[in-house]
Structure 1
Amino acid sequence: MPAVCTVLTATQVYAEGLRQLDTTRIQTALHACPAGHAVQLAANNEKDSFHSGPIQIPSGVGLMIDRDATLYASTDATLYDKGGNTCGVNAEKGRTCMPFITIDKARGSGIYGDGVIDGQGGQIVQGKTETWWQMARRAQREKNEHNIPRLIEIKKSEDITFYRIRLRNSPNFHVTVSQSDGFTAWGVKIDTPADARNTDGIDPISSRNITIAHSYIRTGDDNIAIKGGNSGVTENVSIINNHFYSGHGMSIGSETNSGVRRILVKNLSLDGTTSGLRIKSDASRGGVVEQVRYEDVCIRNSKRPIDLDTRYDQKAMGDKIPVYRDIVFDRVHSISAGRIVLRAFDAAHPLSVEFKQSSIVANSPQLIQFANLTIDQRNVAITDKADNVVWDASSGSACANRFPEFPAHTPINFRPQLTSQQAQAYTIDNVMRTTGPADKPVIDPWNPLQEDLVNSANLPVDYVVDANVVADGKTQFTTVQAAINQAVLDGRQLVAARSNKPRLYILVKPGTYRELMYVPVTALPITLYAEASDAQKTKIAASAHAALLGSAYIHRYGAQFAQVDRSIQEMYASLKDRPVIGTSGSAIAWIRGHGFQAKNITFQNTYNKDQVDTNAECPNTVCGATAGTAPVVVVQHQAVALMLEGADKVQFDNVRILGFQDTLFLKSSAIAHTARSFFHRSYVEGNVDFIFGDTTAYFYRSEIKSLGDRSTSYVTAPNTNIRTPYGFVFNEVDFTNDGSTNALAGKFYLGRQWFHTQKCTPYATINVVSYRCTLADLDGYQAPIGTISKKVLETVGKTVIINSRIGAHIQAQHPWADWNKKGSLAFRPVQFSVSDYWRNLLDAGLQPDQELGYRDPDSLAPGVAASFLGEFNNVQLTPSTAARQQ
């Protein structure tokens, strides 16, 4: 593959209709691309389609199409018209349409990638009532010419390469190579229906030094047709290791008047072609075809397995007599009955053909005329006609396993489903069973549904928080943090005194407590709860965001931490001297204590909830005009409502967690270290990455609401380590939305895998000359070279959703998104399993075994850990069903 000069990402979805043309965008990029580089067309999640009129690839420049992207040719005939307004019109004169892609007078250009170029030959032509193919059939009936564009024309060029690209549904010929020196098609797939007229696969015309290898072609006309027309001889053609399906076969002709010579066809299978190995011409266009070798060829289900005919058009007149000589069939086998045609023009111009170790099915019909044959060193001269020449009878054994299936272009399943057996691994008991390092897990069975938090109607009371009473500093408090502080102190003393008290309980009376709440590692676990079952009545709320200055943080909240235990002060001190507090510093409730519980309480980051904090939005720029004169531009920052950091066996029952971006942060204490949390009958809302982190978290019988104040939303952003068995699990959860216009557009996502602390991406190029991203111990980037560490590569992100209802706001076909766009430093493709991870490393040029020390994928992430993203037994609501249920 050539280096990439520019990445263009798709903006359209085919199923929604191709409403805009990308012609100018693509052509401008191609013209700006330096020689030796390529313009890359890439999918952007579900947006996978480019739509264009005719384009030209300049000399030395490539066009690269990613696996999940498709370039569609417009069906607007006027775009292809050469000036006579006859493109798309059947008439006496043909060839009045420009091709979709032209490579003219170029050197070193090419088309690359595993994506698709689709000519839309079967679609209705814009403004007409027929498809391109229907026009062609009507022209055949009416005996006139169809003016239809070819897909790709290469003219007067040198050293052109097509690599791995898939071409389909061409209106006319797929690829013609005329008057060119040097063309290679390698690993190309051509796929067009068998009844699409004049849709030749690849036609070398008056060209030389051609290689077509490892390709698969099924189409409606010649799979390959080598022509030597008026513009000169075609010579030095190698057709090696290919497979043909429907079509008219491996053809030479019909134009041979300038000559065709030195042709090698080797290791070819033909399955279902009308003709197999075919040379065709007649007196109006004939010439010398010589030095043609067919080796290791298998043919089945062909009407004419061998078809060398000098009377292609029985009515043709002229003096250009076809001559076929020095034609060799070596180990050619026809394994099903079909007509054998070896017909020279007359006795003065006999065929010269040799057969070596070749075989024909017994009793195959024959038409042999004016031929000098050598069959395994046996000379057979046919001076007039014969129909009883004897060949070795084919048994078919020589062609065993020689007919592979056509490699279907199966799009990635962007919504993988677990089997029922796989889903059993995601029960509460299984997910909550272990803790500690992933490579040395600690067995610690835990079923949160058996805890008193869920089952007891009357929890104990050790402390009461009530803003409307006078605090006594021992059991009665007006702030939540003061009660937490006392519980930390008392818990330490109780453990020292060897008390058998299992935990401490803090009852919070209804009200809104505008404060931060920090819970350090505690000697005894703490339960924080309200008696009212309506969690909205008891709220812990404050405003903080990732861009908040450390000085502003001190000003707002410093007094709250002046008289607290050192373990809480350490949490505060870790933030106060930062220039900005960052995402983790923005948490309103920050939990480090193992076994922490909360019930019937709301945790809210009020940043931009009540009103837009314009001062905080962009301190160094102008957000917008003042209210009343123009809309204020709202730029959200990360603003965490609840953060769990390294806390294990943490449990929430009937809580509400409110924010926008990064609402709930679930953070392990160390890489690949399992910390468990459980959310039951709870509610979380946000807009972007609003449940994120690398712990093991279970959401059960809860609601997750996507807010549509942005045009794009991601529910989850897991960065689970590849060795950690479980990431986020959602079971019997309703994924809902706020009914906003953006949400109802149905283009939100269940999640994207957080490419944690990335500085560069090895998974794609970016629009920087000489860009590279290589493996190293540290992550960094200084244009154009970056490094990425193993630990970042291994933050794969895991989320499984089972037995849940997924609202119509979620993209139905593509609910899991890439991390950022291809072409950006932060790009990483969505990865559903360890197999994807392994393949992506290889595609990035990394060696998983040698550079990363992995033995194989199974040892890297065995069992349930091998699955990153998956679903089971979910109900996906559509806009119509959602409307009926509201």
Structure 2
Amino acid sequence: MKTIWVLVVLMVGVVNLRGAECRKAKKRVENTLEYSAISCRAHSASITDYGGIGDGKTSNTKAFREAISHLSRYEADGGAQLFVPPGQWLTGSFNLTSHFTLFLHKDAVLLASQEISEWAVIAPLPSYGHGRDTAGGRYISLIFGTNLTDVVVTGENGTIDGQGALWWQQFHKKKLKYTRPYLIEIMHSDNIQISNLTFLNSPSWNVHPVYSSNIIIQGITILAPVTSPNTDGINPDSCTNTKIEDTYIVSGDDCIAVKSGWDEYGISYGMPTKQLIIRRLTCISPYSAAIALGSEMSGGIEDVRAEDITAINTESGVRIKTGVGRGGYVKDIYVKGMNLHTMKWVFWMTGNYGSHADSHYDPKALPVIQGINYRDITAENVSMAARLEGISGDPFTGICISNATIGLAKKAKKVPWTCTDIAGVTSGVLPKPCSSLPDQGPEKVGMCSFPTDNLPIDDVEIKKCSYRMG
């Protein structure tokens, strides 16, 4: 554990440098705070205007709810922004509104309430049909919104602290009646920005956009103990046109987990995740993946573009998780420029992931996994290059790996590749892959494709906005 946190300190410095480009727009001009956002607002207020007290002890749930309710009247009049000044702002869950910005000062900390009564219980997601922790409903997220448009949650690296230890203990003791809350969840919404914030100690997943489109997640840091249960970093779920970039994540689960519903519920809902960009991710997660596709992928996952990925002491670089009964598909996946240090597996595809929402899944619903492209990979201190396991009678096809150099650990597995029920090609890969991935020769080293066209999310105009303090 000590080694991991030394790595955290070292890598925070790296990420601060890498994230400087997206954060440099923030500066103070006298009492005016300037920042970048997809929309600026005509009206402003501070949480203190609604009786907020940042002493870390007083509940501000009522203040946040009243502030956002009041500011919602400006939705059609240029929108509004709510400023959270320096302080420790204890609060339960609150809902966002449209044409709205929540801005956290660099010395502001939102502290999630430890009073369970402040967390409403809501129904399971329709594409899951089941809670993730229990069969019933789920506790609402700390920051929640549904059926919204034009929402910004940002800051100058202010902090949202989920104080998750209480929830982790209840989970391990199997005392939870409902699924644990997330730090932020936005549903059925469009034009969303979440940026320049630090998320700490989430009870479960950290950032969960679901059934939404046109989403920018940028310049955020996510930290949780590496042993904390299911503290996924960012989970784009049945979303279209999403960009995740300049993020640093230390967690107890996958750093980025791409999802689209669970078994028969996801198949029925039928809403894929597609047009997803992941850039400049740094991940530490000893028991999980830097990027996971699934396991809940029954609505489909397609056109994922990941590049410039650094992972340290992480179980796997990219993992595809699926199984019989999932249905759906994972296709047209493009990954390039991965720099990996101390891994169990670089590539991992699992066709036997057996977790199901309930017993009603269709055993004839087989997933389609095809068009998986990996290129320009360097890795060191790796136990095993790849574990690729398709499904008997349903092989994973169209796998392409090129220009990948994998340095094995001193105590690496004797057989660096295991491959069953897969098909594809390789070029310029060391150590030599299994026979299911024949080498096409050095002249084909650049053969694995990566799209050169822009997705619409890259063309979103970012504006310079301001808030006048005091």
TM-score range for the pair, normalised by the shorter chain length: 0.7 to 0.9
**1:268 aligned counterpart, secondary structure:** strand
* Aligned 1:338-737 pairs, distance under 5 A: 338-339=383-384, 340-362=386-408, 365-376=416-427, 382=435
Question: Residues 304 and 91 (structure 1 numbering): CA distance in 2 closer, same or farther, change over 3 Å?
Answer: closer
Question: Residues 27 and 220 (structure 1 numbering): CA distance in 2 closer, same or farther, change over 3 Å?
Answer: same
Alignment partners' CA distance in 1, 2:227 and 2:246:
24
Provide runs of 4+ in structure 1 moved above 6 Å: 314-317, 377-381, 388-392
Alignment partners' CA distance in 1, 2:439 and 2:353:
22
Match of residue 168 from structure 2: 133
Question: Residues 91 and 174 (structure 1 numbering): CA distance in 2 closer, same or farther, change over 3 Å?
Answer: closer
Alignment partners' CA distance in 1, 2:204 and 2:397:
32
Question: CA offsets per residue over residues 228-256 of structure 1, 9 Å max, x none?
Answer: 22131110000011111126221000012
- Contact 2:134 2:179 survives alignment (8 Å): no
Structure 1 residue 213: deviation in Å?
Answer: 0.4
Question: Residues 92 and 326 (structure 1 numbering): CA distance in 2 closer, same or farther, change over 3 Å?
Answer: closer
Alignment partners' CA distance in 1, 2:151 and 2:110:
18
More strand by share: 2
Question: Residues 271 and 265 (structure 1 numbering): CA distance in 2 closer, same or farther, change over 3 Å?
Answer: same
- Contact 1:369 1:382 survives alignment (8 Å): no
Structure 1 residue 348: deviation in Å?
Answer: 4.0
Among residues 163, 181, 185, which one is paired with 1:120 in the alignment? 163
Which residue type is aligned with residue 200 of structure 2?
R
Match of residue 24 from structure 1: 62
Structure 1 residue 333: deviation in Å?
Answer: 2.0
Match of residue 44 from structure 2: 5
Question: CA offsets per residue over residues 686-738 of structure 1, 9 Å max, x none?
Answer: xxxxxxxxxxxxxxxxxxxxxxxxxxxxxxxxxxxxxxxxxxxxxxxxxxxxx
Match of residue 245 from structure 2: 213
Q: TM-score, normalised by structure 1?
A: 0.40
Alignment partners' CA distance in 2, 1:209 and 1:336:
35
Is 1:278 aligned to residue 329 of structure 2?
A: no
Match of residue 329 from structure 1: 374
Alignment partners' CA distance in 2, 1:59 and 1:233:
24
Question: Residues 148 and 51 (structure 1 numbering): CA distance in 2 closer, same or farther, change over 3 Å?
Answer: same
Alignment partners' CA distance in 2, 1:381 and 1:72:
50
Alignment partners' CA distance in 2, 1:375 and 1:155:
40
Match of residue 153 from structure 1: 185
- Contact 1:72 1:118 survives alignment (8 Å): yes
Among residues 303, 308, 320, which one is paired with 2:365 in the alignment? 320
Match of residue 222 from structure 1: 254
**2:81 aligned counterpart, secondary structure:** strand
Match of residue 100 from structure 2: 61
Which residue type is aligned with residue 765 of structure 1?
Y
Question: Residues 150 and 391 (structure 1 numbering): CA distance in 2 closer, same or farther, change over 3 Å?
Answer: farther
Alignment partners' CA distance in 2, 1:348 and 1:172:
33
- Contact 2:237 2:258 survives alignment (8 Å): yes
Is 1:96 aligned to residue 132 of structure 2?
A: no
Is 1:162 aligned to residue 197 of structure 2?
A: no
Question: CA offsets per residue over residues 537-582 of structure 1, 9 Å max, x none?
Answer: xxxxxxxxxxxxxxxxxxxxxxxxxxxxxxxxxxxxxxxxxxxxxx
Question: CA offsets per residue over residues 177-229 of structure 1, 9 Å max, x none?
Answer: 11111111010111111111011111111111010001111111111111122
Match of residue 302 from structure 2: 261
Which residue type is aligned with residue 41 of structure 1?
V
Structure 1 residue 165: deviation in Å?
Answer: 1.1
**1:357 aligned counterpart, secondary structure:** strand
Alignment partners' CA distance in 2, 1:241 and 1:201:
14
**2:241 aligned counterpart, secondary structure:** strand
Structure 1 residue 82: deviation in Å?
Answer: 2.2
**2:388 aligned counterpart, secondary structure:** strand
Question: CA offsets per residue over residues 835-866 of structure 1, 9 Å max, x none?
Answer: xxxxxxxxxxxxxxxxxxxxxxxxxxxxxxxx
Higher relative contact order by CA 8 Å / sep ≥ 6: 1 or 2?
2
Alignment partners' CA distance in 2, 1:151 and 1:391:
48
Question: Residues 154 and 382 (structure 1 numbering): CA distance in 2 closer, same or farther, change over 3 Å?
Answer: farther
Structure 1 residue 273: deviation in Å?
Answer: 1.7
Which residue type is aligned with residue 59 of structure 1?
S
Match of residue 344 from structure 2: 303
Question: Residues 159 and 286 (structure 1 numbering): CA distance in 2 closer, same or farther, change over 3 Å?
Answer: same
Structure 1 residue 287: deviation in Å?
Answer: 2.1
Question: Residues 92 and 228 (structure 1 numbering): CA distance in 2 closer, same or farther, change over 3 Å?
Answer: closer
Question: Residues 92 and 72 (structure 1 numbering): CA distance in 2 closer, same or farther, change over 3 Å?
Answer: closer
Alignment partners' CA distance in 1, 2:348 and 2:105:
39
- Contact 1:7 1:40 survives alignment (8 Å): yes
- Contact 1:276 1:299 survives alignment (8 Å): yes
Question: Residues 367 and 65 (structure 1 numbering): CA distance in 2 closer, same or farther, change over 3 Å?
Answer: same
When Rg is computed on C-alpha atoms for both structures, the one with the higher figure is: 1
Structure 1 residue 53: deviation in Å?
Answer: 1.0
**2:381 aligned counterpart, secondary structure:** coil
Which residue type is aligned with residue 364 of structure 2?
D
Question: Residues 360 and 167 (structure 1 numbering): CA distance in 2 closer, same or farther, change over 3 Å?
Answer: same
Alignment partners' CA distance in 2, 1:214 and 1:65:
19
Alignment partners' CA distance in 2, 1:96 and 1:326:
35
Alignment partners' CA distance in 2, 1:94 and 1:219:
26
Question: Residues 194 and 83 (structure 1 numbering): CA distance in 2 closer, same or farther, change over 3 Å?
Answer: closer
Which residue type is aligned with residue 231 of structure 2?
T
Structure 1 residue 79: deviation in Å?
Answer: 1.5
Structure 1 residue 317: deviation in Å?
Answer: 7.2
Q: Which runs of 5+ in 1 are unaligned?
A: 123-130, 393-763, 767-822, 825-886
Question: CA offsets per residue over residues 774-819 of structure 1, 9 Å max, x none?
Answer: xxxxxxxxxxxxxxxxxxxxxxxxxxxxxxxxxxxxxxxxxxxxxx
Among residues 216, 219, 226, which one is paired with 1:184 in the alignment? 216
Question: CA offsets per residue over residues 655-708 of structure 1, 9 Å max, x none?
Answer: xxxxxxxxxxxxxxxxxxxxxxxxxxxxxxxxxxxxxxxxxxxxxxxxxxxxxx
Structure 1 residue 90: deviation in Å?
Answer: 12
Alignment partners' CA distance in 2, 1:74 and 1:223:
25
Structure 1 residue 120: deviation in Å?
Answer: 0.7
Alignment partners' CA distance in 1, 2:335 and 2:199:
26
Alignment partners' CA distance in 1, 2:184 and 2:364:
33
Match of residue 41 from structure 1: 84
- Contact 1:251 1:277 survives alignment (8 Å): yes
Question: Residues 191 and 8 (structure 1 numbering): CA distance in 2 closer, same or farther, change over 3 Å?
Answer: same
**2:182 aligned counterpart, secondary structure:** coil
- Contact 1:280 1:312 survives alignment (8 Å): yes
**1:215 aligned counterpart, secondary structure:** strand
Among residues 113, 120, 125, which one is paired with 1:74 in the alignment? 113
Indicate the percent of aligned positions where both proteins have the same amino acid.
Answer: 22
Alignment partners' CA distance in 2, 1:83 and 1:217:
28
CA RMSD of aligned residues (A): 3.0
Which residue type is aligned with residue 80 of structure 1?
W
Structure 1 residue 301: deviation in Å?
Answer: 1.6
Structure 1 residue 96: deviation in Å?
Answer: 3.0
Which residue type is aligned with residue 105 of structure 1?
N
Question: CA offsets per residue over residues 116-165 of structure 1, 9 Å max, x none?
Answer: 0111102xxxxxxxx111112223xx9x8753222111100001101111
Q: Which runs of 5+ in 2 are unaligned?
A: 1-34, 124-130, 443-465
**2:98 aligned counterpart, secondary structure:** coil
Structure 1 residue 175: deviation in Å?
Answer: 1.4
Is 1:765 aligned to residue 467 of structure 2?
A: yes
Question: Residues 152 and 91 (structure 1 numbering): CA distance in 2 closer, same or farther, change over 3 Å?
Answer: closer
Structure 1 residue 91: deviation in Å?
Answer: 8.5
Which residue type is aligned with residue 274 of structure 1?
E
- How many residues align? The count is 372
Q: Which moved more, 1:322-331 or 1:306-315?
A: 306-315
- Contact 2:307 2:337 survives alignment (8 Å): yes
Alignment partners' CA distance in 2, 1:295 and 1:286:
27
